[in-house]
Structure 1
Amino acid sequence: MERFFKLKELGSNVRTEIMAGITTFMTMAYILSVNPNTLTAFGSGATGGEWYPVFLATALAAGIFTIAMGLFVNFPVALAPGMGLNAYFASVILSSSATGHPVTFEIALTAVFISGLIFILLTVTHIRQMLLVAVPDGLKHAITVGIGLFITIIGLKNSGLLTVGVEALNDIPKGKFTDVAFFETIFHMGSLDNPGVQLALIGLFLIGVLMVLRVKGAILFGILGTTLIGMLLGSNYVPTTINTADTPWIPNLSELQFMNFDWEGVLSTGLISIVATFTFVELFDTFGTLVGTANRTGVMKDEQKGKKIVGKAMLVDAVAVTGGAMLGTSTTTAYIESAAGVAAGGRSGLTSVTTGVLFLLALFLAPIVALIPGSATAAALIIVGLLMMQAVKAIDFEDYTIAIPAFLTIVFMPFTYNIANGISLGIFSYVILATAANVFGKGKYKVHWLMWLLAILIVLRYAFIGSQG
């Protein structure tokens, strides 16, 4: 084992690697409950997905592809269905349900599968690396922050802490507008009498205290602690009946929705924008995670070796996107929580293999995971949003050529409830502002030709598809 994973060369040992793998698992195991709850609804089956099949897909995708990362790349990075992209997956289905071209769960899975094929092609041809160079760092960080706010709003809505209502305006303009009904969307704080809201607040502060005390796996322990507290408070907070027929202790892989695609639906719905969003967001999310982890392990000290490892890791990540979709879950991607394992001493793929095995063993814990209420996972989503917000520190807000596109990227994601809108406005505004600054001698900003191409595609998208396409 030491020879296979090159532990002596990396300055590590079996015990350290296994403990690091356990640490990584503890910090990201929350996805086992959060992902099924997110993809199935924000409620029971509203998106068309079912809880147990999504749970199976989540555990299998995380286990299989994290082990693959360890065995084929010898790199301490874990993969699982990504936060933000799973929320976008569900929001696409829910927002399209009332339109003439509803996107079903199967169609959305097909879109993820297509984006994975695109990733494989971009990675093999090295275009993926070129795209990463084209987009300025400020926008990359802004995308992370915007997704963090997007996740936060979803957590607030799921918990009931935030409600959205549509109210008629009292002062309706006179004249030609008298026959028009004017409305505004109002955000309200949820009722504190609601047991779900109370439990979400308990979970939020419990996770917060654990993080302040620097407890490893604070999010996971917070979710479990919140569930236990809810069970003690009564069935109004957590239903305590385990239905082993729906969530068996022994994994029932026949329930897995393998290759649950709808190609005919894709052709009739028009998913260009959705596929582009999955592809674009995953592109930068993965890059930041892999490079950040590589820096922490010290791999990037040898630049050529570091690039080779990151390149191989990108290929595993791309295959994981398609593989996860085939299993029945949203985009599977590298997790920044892998840094916890690295901080615990993980340096090799043995860390990843350990984490992956634990995810596979979690298949036998479905009834326990099923008990976790939406209020507990909603609290976790809010905290994950906080963690992603930390990237805002890396944005230079004194340079308006970067600050304005970054700001538009950040605010348009949560406020329009659409990740694609934020990315699109950020890219388009950067091309315009950077070009203006260069022309009038107010700076020297690099505007890669791919950024121009993306800007043109964005204009065409809004011209022919619209903001909700």
Structure 2
Amino acid sequence: MDKFFKLKEFGTNIRTEIMAGVTTFMTMAYILAVNPAILSGSGLNSYSIFLATALAAGIFTLAMGLFVNFPVALAPGMGLNAFFATTVVASKATDHPITPSMGLAAVFISGIIFLILTVTKVRQLLVVAVPDSLKHAITVGIGLFITIIGLKTSGLLTISLDPFARGFEQGKYTDLTGNETVLHLGDLTQPGVWLTVVGLFLIGVLMVLRVRGAILIGIVVTTLIGAIPGVDVVDFGSLKGQSWTPNFRELNFWDFDFADLLSTGLLSAIATFTFVELFDTFGTLVGTANRAGFLKNKEEGNKRIGKAMLVDSVAVSGGAMLGTSTMTAFVESSAGIAEGGRTGLTSSTTGVLFLLSLFLAPIALIVPTPATSAALIIVGVLMMQAVKEIDFADLVVAIPAFLTIALMPFTYNIANGISFGIVSYVLLASVSSWFGKKKYSVHWLMWILFVLVIARYLFIGSQG
């Protein structure tokens, strides 16, 4: 094992690596409960999603450890799973509704595109082309998008569209401060709503105290509270008679429908899956590699990141084959690296734990919506931290970044935020360079993206 993972070369040992792998698993195991909760909203079966999540995370995290010797774990990405369930499958772009099978086909194709972009090294070029401000804004926007979903599913936030629409029809544009607003605070007397609040503050306290696995522990404790008589959000009695052996016949393996890819607006979805995953994975891999000290030798570090990108690309299509949304490298892997993880033994340990979790399906699926909603809100907090990297004093940077951030949650669509960010940046940076005092560099690939975005709205429409 020492020879295979080069433990001595990286200044580590078996005990440290295994403990680091356990730490990484603890910090990201919440995905086993949260992913089924999100994707079941698209019409997929919760148990099937759990199987796909555990299998995909286990298999491809093991691949990262065994073939790349890299201490990074993979699982279905937060934000992209929400995009899949609330935007892609919910699309009303045409008379042909997008089914979950079509959505999985879009994810599969995005993985193939991702693999081609990685092999041809276009992927690295795209990362250079898009300005850092937009990359950070995408992260923040997705964080707010996830937060809105958490607030909405928990009942802590209610949305009322009709009063607002009636006001505009009648020419009443100003009365948005009373009861006729679009967004309302939920009914705090409802057990599910206040249980979300309890879970939210519980996870927050654990994170402030720097407790490892704070999100997972918070979900578990919130679930236990939900079973208290009088609350009755959780029924542990339903565990009786449940099978603890995974039933792989329930897996949505190769459940694809490639029909009507163009007419249903899936072309836009494929582009969004590819675009978001592109920067999400790149940022995670570079950040974790830097924290582990791999980039001190740039040539060797870049080789390992390149191999990791290949595994990640295959994981996207592989995860879709198993029946889950886009797989991605998890930033929570940095927790294991902070514990001393430096080799693939760390990620291999995490992968094995995900595979063992296949025998815990009844427990994962009994987790109530308030517990997963609280976790979603906290994940939004973590993603929001990237806002500090954006220079809002520079309007050429600030306006595109703000549009990216604002349009994702308020239009309930990640693609809209990215699209408006790209178009506004190219326009403002070009105008400033041509007529203003400050010059900005606009990569030629940004102009191609600019044209593609404009064409997307002209020919597919706003809901595509």
TM-based fold match above 0.5 = yes
* Structure 1 residue aligned with 2:279: 284
- Residue 328 (str. 1) matches residue 323 (str. 2): yes
Give CA-to-partner distance per residue, 1:368-414, whole Å, 9 cap, x none.
11111011000000000000000001111111111111111000000
Question: C-alpha separation between the residues in 1 aligned to 2:430 and 2:55?
Answer: 47
Deviates more, 1:156-165 or 1:96-105: 96-105
Aligned residue runs from structure 1 range 353-432, under 5 A: 353-432=348-427
Question: C-alpha separation between the residues in 2 aligned to 1:120 and 1:185?
Answer: 46
Aligned residue runs from structure 1 range 341-360, under 5 A: 341-360=336-355
Shift of 1:64: 0.3
* Structure 2 residue aligned with 1:454: 449
Question: C-alpha separation between the residues in 2 aligned to 1:135 and 1:172?
Answer: 38
* Structure 1 residue aligned with 2:176: none
Question: C-alpha separation between the residues in 2 aligned to 1:229 and 1:432?
Answer: 52
Q: What stretches of structure 2 of length at least 5 have no aligned partner?
A: 172-179
Of 180, 195, 204, which residue of structure 1 is paired with 2:191? 195
Give CA-to-partner distance per residue, 1:169-206, whole Å, 9 cap, x none.
5766779xxxxxxxx86101100111110111110011
SS in 2 for 1:188: strand
Question: C-alpha separation between the residues in 2 aligned to 1:241 and 1:54?
Answer: 23
- Residue 134 (str. 1) matches residue 129 (str. 2): yes
Instruction: State the percentage of identical aligned residues.
Output: 68
* Structure 2 residue aligned with 1:295: 290
Question: C-alpha separation between the residues in 1 aligned to 2:304 and 2:138?
Answer: 25
Pairs aligned (count): 456
What is the one-letter code of the residue matched to 1:220? Answer: L
- Residue 208 (str. 1) matches residue 204 (str. 2): yes
TM-score for both structures, normalised by structure 1: 0.94
Q: What stretches of structure 1 of length at least 5 have no aligned partner?
A: 42-46, 176-183
Of 234, 238, 249, which residue of structure 2 is paired with 1:242? 238
Of 157, 163, 187, which residue of structure 1 is paired with 2:158? 163
Give CA-to-partner distance per residue, 1:190-228, whole Å, 9 cap, x none.
001111101111100110110111100000000001001
Question: C-alpha separation between the residues in 1 aligned to 2:433 and 2:93?
Answer: 45
Question: C-alpha separation between the residues in 1 aligned to 2:140 and 2:387?
Answer: 6
Question: C-alpha separation between the residues in 2 aligned to 1:259 and 1:120?
Answer: 19
What is the one-letter code of the residue matched to 1:19? Answer: M
What is the one-letter code of the residue matched to 1:465? Answer: I
1:3–1:459 distance in 2 versus 1, CA, 3 Å: same
* Structure 2 residue aligned with 1:15: 15
1:421–1:98 distance in 2 versus 1, CA, 3 Å: closer
* Structure 2 residue aligned with 1:181: none
Contact 1:431 1:447 in 2 (8 A): yes
Contact 2:295 2:302 in 1 (8 A): yes
Shift of 1:128: 0.4
Aligned residue runs from structure 1 range 253-292, under 5 A: 253-266=248-261, 268-292=263-287
- Residue 230 (str. 1) matches residue 226 (str. 2): yes
Contact 1:23 1:344 in 2 (8 A): yes
Give CA-to-partner distance per residue, 1:80-138, whole Å, 9 cap, x none.
00000000000125532696221111110000000000000000000000000000111
What is the one-letter code of the residue matched to 1:213? Answer: L
What is the one-letter code of the residue matched to 1:147? Answer: I
Contact 1:92 1:103 in 2 (8 A): no
Question: C-alpha separation between the residues in 1 aligned to 2:170 and 2:418?
Answer: 38
What is the one-letter code of the residue matched to 2:336? Answer: G
Question: C-alpha separation between the residues in 2 aligned to 1:444 and 1:350?
Answer: 47
Contact 1:167 1:185 in 2 (8 A): no
* Structure 1 residue aligned with 2:29: 29
Of 284, 307, 310, which residue of structure 2 is paired with 1:315? 310
SS in 1 for 2:70: coil
1:8–1:411 distance in 2 versus 1, CA, 3 Å: same
When the two chains are superposed, the root-mean-square deviation of aligned CA atoms in Å is 1.8
* Structure 1 residue aligned with 2:99: 104
- Residue 468 (str. 1) matches residue 463 (str. 2): yes
Shift of 1:266: 3.0
Deviates more, 1:300-309 or 1:105-114: 300-309
Question: C-alpha separation between the residues in 2 aligned to 1:195 and 1:311?
Answer: 48
SS in 2 for 1:285: helix
TM-score for both structures, normalised by structure 2: 0.95
SS in 2 for 1:80: strand
1:261–1:467 distance in 2 versus 1, CA, 3 Å: same
